[in-house]
Amino acid sequence: MLPNTQNADFELNVILQEEGLSDGSNIFVAYCDDLDIASQGETPDEAQANFVEAVDLWLGTASQTEIEAKLSVVRRRKPTILKRIPVHYGQTAGVIGQ
């Protein structure tokens, strides 16, 4: 039995990203840095479902100590804000040192 984790609900910060494969097709990858668990699928929903299954498998095989250690980090973690920020690469007028 896993005290404090059995029947516990928690939210994970998961990055869901579309990746291009060498054959020209695309997959979606779901990755959680806090647990170091990733999964993939042909659609975002499939990647998410496969990720939840991977977490369930990890919870069923990891030691109680490992689960408690990782979930203690998850419980303290604030939600991740993921934002695309534009940057410029190349020559820019007014750069120091020019």
| Residue 82 pLDDT | 84
Distance CA 17, CA 7 (A): 29
State yes or no: pLDDT of 2 exceeds 50.
no
| Residue 5 pLDDT | 47
The model's pTM: 0.75
pLDDT tens, 38-71? 999 999 999 999 999 999 999 999 999 999 999 9
Q: Which domain holds residue 31?
A: 1-98
Name residue, tokens 């479902």: 49
CB atoms within 10 A of CB 28: 20
| Residue 8 pLDDT | 72
- CA–chain centroid gap for 70, Å, is 14
Q: Both ends of the chain: CA-CA distance in Å?
A: 65
State yes or no: pLDDT of 98 exceeds 60.
no
- The domain tally of the chain equals 1
